[in-house]
Copies of this chain bind each other. A is one copy, B any other.
Amino acid sequence: MSIILTAFESSPDEGRGLARDMRVRWALEEVGQAYHVRLVSFAAMKEAAHLALHPFGQIPTYEDGDLVLFETGAIVLHVAQRHPGLLPEDADARARATAWMFAALNTVEPPIVEREQSWYLEGDKPWYAERLPGLNARVRARLDPLSARLADAEWLDGAFSAADLLMVTVLRRLEGSDILEDYPTLRAYIARGEARPAYRRAFADQLAVFTASRPVG
């Protein structure tokens, strides 16, 4: 029985590792679990066969025998609960790591995604420039306390955990933006995540999908 993930057949990020399958690939690499990937087109994501796996028609999905999961937070938590290496053993520390997992996805990610969407959905609108400072302020309202809390710690709460894995992937969405220039603590934190061998293997594997499918030019 083997684990099967779904991922974009043609990722809009062109292999920068921002598609959400990256999180699951990274988690599986951290715990040493092999997996297969089934690529899906944008059209196929909205068809009944895929909707049976993912009610919202997105990627990734996770299949392991009879179990089908969606939502990267839940998949990473499932992997972390079944294999050592991504959550502390102590029950209280484990609950705190889970809090940081939800913080990454429910508190830090939404204003980052909203800022991104404003660019690709409304970048040509007359109000785009006037709205941008407010969008940036909402992102900074998350990065300021996160950076303060992290301070000179290596990871969010003790050893590297599934919470750091999710938080690093969320913060990576800001790479290349001006905002991260003001947060050396967070840039170093992202770099520590990206330097992990499991991250590098996962990144190479998701990039290979893109480079293999790119037309020769």
Contact = CB atoms under 8 A, between A and B. Distances in A.
Interface of A: 51, 55-58, 66-75, 77-78, 92, 95-96, 98-103, 105-107, 109-110, 113-114, 121-122, 125-127, 130-131, 134, 142, 145-146, 148-149
A186 to B, nearest CB: 13
A14 to B, nearest CB: 24
Tallying the copies of this chain within the complex gives 2
A8 B111 CA distance: 22
A55 B102 contact: no
Given A122-B131, A127-B127, A149 B55 contact: yes
A121 B131 CA distance: 11
Contact of A57 (B95, B105, B145): B145
Contacts of A110: 109-110, 113-114
A148 B95 CA distance: 33
